[in-house]
Amino acid sequence: MRNEEKLTTMKEKKPICEGFKDLRQFGGANFATTAYVDVESSGPPSSPLGFPAPRGMQYSCFKDFFSRQRKTFLLLVFSKLISSFSFRFFAVDRARITSILCIDKKARIVCQENAILSESSARGKNDAYMLTSYILKRTICGKIVKGFVLKRPNASSLKAVAKGHLGEGSMDSVWEKSDDVVAIKIDYRQVMERLHSEHHFERNPENPWKEIAAMQLLGNNHPNVVGLIGAFMDEKCLYEVLEYCSQGSLSTFMATHPTGVPEPQARRFFNDILSGLAYLHSRGVCHHDLSTDNVLLDDLDMRAVIIDFGMCLRVPHSYPDDPSGTTDDVTDVSMGTKRRLIHSQNHCGKLRFMAPEIYNREDHFDGLSSDIWSLGIILFVLLTGRQPYEKPDKSDPGFYDLISPKFYWDTVNVNPCFSWGFEISDAAVELLRKMLSVDLSERASLSWVLNHKWVNDTSPLDTTQ
């Protein structure tokens, strides 16, 4: 699919409410209904599955990534990557940053710097983008900047503009800036190599190559999951061209609402994120780093979109002919079998959204349950405007209050205006209490959340607030 067609497809994604109703069908699916005790008994814990390599896989993309590394480092890191997410040689188009001739809004031909031209654009395809200096976000491996799609101008208009300025042989080198805005994630390959060196590997699990593979597995058809338009690389950088969300992050939005938002508005955001998360889980992927920073808002309707899949994991499942999990052999979610626990990786995610089992580095964990915890923290932030804790440890006063049965959750004997700081519905308290259960056997399943009365409340949003 050509990139301008991908942009059109993303613009025509289903409205938020329709997408959520469609995903309600997953409420009865095996991955959504499976309780933690059943996951525990489904077989021995496993390493996460590898993501399938993208179509058109090229070996050359990674040869130079390892070429300067010591042999011992190669064996160590390569074995870890293979076991954790099948670090195959992902294919991305070669590209170059160059200056181009571009038709501006006044129908003049000007020289435009910082354009990404892929090898496919040299073969006549429209895979070209204009980088701007506007930084949307700093990342571990680089930054995300605002960009524009470049397109081939209409042949007749090009000839009219170019007449007397360009020779016939130069016509193919002219581009036109479109009105389609994209976000371009620039990952510096030198930084990537350093962060995944033998010394830093355990502390830096985020990997842009895995992120590309994960987004290609997920596709770009869901309104609450960011779409990948294209991926390119040159000698210095890896470029991920992403769907642009114009309203910034949910964390930035909540900074302007220090006391939280009304329950109907919180429900609107929450259901968007829940819809996207249900889609991820239906594809056998746990996000592993869900937070308000990793949720963007788009358009005037403030559609919430999940981003940043650099730490996500592909959940292992038992084989159909081995329902009791007597072997170490695992498959993916498509078999409809019970999922397995995942061998502990390391501290993944942000402390203020991290599930306690991840923070405590338990020997194994349930990836989907840890996402449910993080989603519960997002809902807490939406309703209160504050973080419940700094880290999920009993030494943290906020976390102690969160896990105590006699503070937030006892609304009969403790006035909610004291514990929560405001009046809160019993349904919201019940939902949060189950999502934020430290006891994994008591923590809410995705199906339970999808079918909860608070989630399905149709109270209208008061736009005057």
Question: Residue 363's closest CA among 76, 45, 83?
Answer: 45
Q: First and final CA of the chain: distance in angstroms?
A: 43
What are the backbone angles phi and psi of residue 229, rounded to the nearest 5°?
A: -90, -40
- Look at residues 243, 259, 287 and tell me which one is the last residue of a structural domain: 243
Widest distance between CA atoms in the chain: 84
Task: Say if residue 252 is in the same domain as residue 303.
Answer: yes
- Domain harbouring 424, CATH code: 1.10.510.10
Residue 122, in any domain of the structure: yes
- Tens-place pLDDT, residues 160-179: 565 555 554 455 578 888 99
Using 50 as the pLDDT threshold, list the residues of the chain that sit under it. 16-17, 19-20, 56-90, 168-169, 465
Residue 180, in any domain of the structure: yes
- Look at residues 243, 264, 297 and tell me which one is the last residue of a structural domain: 243
Task: Say if residue 253 is in the same domain as residue 383.
Answer: yes
Residue 359, in any domain of the structure: yes
Specify the pTM. 0.86
Q: Are 398 and 380 in contact (CB under 8 A)?
A: no
Task: Say if residue 283 is in the same domain as residue 349.
Answer: yes
Residue 333, in any domain of the structure: yes
Task: Say if residue 331 is in the same domain as residue 196.
Answer: no
pLDDT score for 122: 55
Alpha carbon dihedral 381, 387, 393, 394, in 10-degree steps, equals -100
Task: Say if residue 33 is in the same domain as residue 103.
Answer: no
pLDDT score for 360: 92
- Look at residues 205, 228, 243 and tell me which one is the last residue of a structural domain: 243
Residue carrying the six token digits 């259960």: 437
Task: Say if residue 236 is in the same domain as residue 212.
Answer: yes
pLDDT score for 27: 63
Ramachandran category for residue 237: left, alpha or beta (phi over 0 → left; psi -120 to 50 → alpha) = beta
Q: Count Cβ neighbours within 10 Å for each residue of 379-415 and write b for 16 or more, e otherwise.
A: bbbbbbbebbbeebeeebeebeebbeeeebbebeeee
- Domain harbouring 192, CATH code: 3.30.200.20
Cα–Cα dist 382/186, whole Å: 30
Cα–Cα dist 47/344, whole Å: 8
Residue 459, in any domain of the structure: no
Q: Which domain holds residue 397?
A: 15-44+245-450
Task: Say if residue 266 is in the same domain as residue 410.
Answer: yes
Task: Say if residue 365 is in the same domain as residue 410.
Answer: yes
Give SS3 for 181.
strand
Residue 343, in any domain of the structure: yes
Residue 39, in any domain of the structure: yes
**Count: domains in the chain:** 2
Task: Say if residue 358 is in the same domain as residue 219.
Answer: no
Task: Say if residue 151 is in the same domain as residue 187.
Answer: yes
Residue 256, in any domain of the structure: yes
Give SS3 for 334.
helix
pLDDT score for 454: 97
User: What is the chain's Cα-based Rg?
Assistant: 24
Task: Say if residue 254 is in the same domain as residue 319.
Answer: yes
Task: Say if residue 316 is in the same domain as residue 409.
Answer: yes
Tokens at residue 393, please? 């440890």
Cα–Cα dist 74/329, whole Å: 26
